[in-house]
Amino acid sequence: MISIIRANDGAIKTYSERPHSGYNLALDESVEQLDVDFNTYAQRFTLSCGGRSGETLSVAQSSGDLLVELSCPGESTVDVDINGLVDTLAVVNGKAQLTLSTDVPGVFLLQPADRTRYCAAGEAVLCIEVNPNG
Amino acid sequence: MAKAIKHNGKYVLEADQVISARIRSKEDLQKVMAKLSEQELRELLECILTRLNALEKA
């Protein structure tokens, strides 16, 4: 059993294995209980790069393309937000992939686009810093 | 945060103004060590004054 806290726009703010009492009624947040275990819920949408997930990765500029793997079991498509650009990826056998260029320095922030369905936390968020050369 | 664009099936970042400015600043610093023509010196001074102006406004 997990508890899910939603913002007033329906976006999932956080979820926990323990019963949540930390939601803020003044902000019109709500809490709901779901009969599913924490790991199953967390694994519905995960992003990884080079086998690493849920952390900030750092790479050098022009160090080659980065392959990001997305796991989204049971879905045929999934919407991903890449620095505000939302793209729909085809999911095959629960997996999808996308490629990031390291040609330009900056920060990539990848997260689920549908925040009412997936929480942008833990392994569902991937931050990749492309450091300038020199 | 810089925007991302899709190009040839890959996601590419748009140039970040702050990072680009830092790179140019580093390049300008290296230029100072070299012998400059009057025109190059004017351009370098212009860059420095532009940055100072931006700092004053920040």
For an interface test with A, the pick among B7, B11, B17, B18 (most A C-beta atoms closer than 10 Å) comes out as B11
Position of tokens 């956080």? A14
What is the mean pLDDT, run by run of 10 residues, along chain B of 58 residues? 92 88 82 86 88 85
* Domain tally, chain A: 2
- A33 and A58 belong to one structural domain: no
Range of the domain at A29: 1-42
- Summarised one tens digit per residue, pLDDT across range A39-58 is 999 999 999 999 999 999 99
- A127 and A63 belong to one structural domain: yes
- A28 and A92 belong to one structural domain: no
Q: What are phi and psi of A55, to 5 degrees?
A: -145, 170
ipTM for this model: 0.84
- A23 and A62 belong to one structural domain: no
- A55 and A108 belong to one structural domain: yes
Amino acid occupying residue A38: F
- A14 and A30 belong to one structural domain: yes
Q: Which of A88, A61, A103, A97 is nearest to B12 (CA)?
A: A103
- Summarised one tens digit per residue, pLDDT across range A20-41 is 666 777 788 888 889 999 999 9
- A47 and A83 belong to one structural domain: yes
Residue A26 backbone zone (phi > 0: left; psi -120 to 50: alpha; other: beta): alpha
- A33 and A6 belong to one structural domain: yes
Question: Interior CA angle at B1 toward A133 and B6, to 5°?
Answer: 80
- A66 and A111 belong to one structural domain: yes
Q: Tell me the chain B residues in contact with residue A101 when contact means C-beta distances shorter than 8 Å.
A: 7, 10-13
- A37 and A47 belong to one structural domain: no
- A38 and A74 belong to one structural domain: no
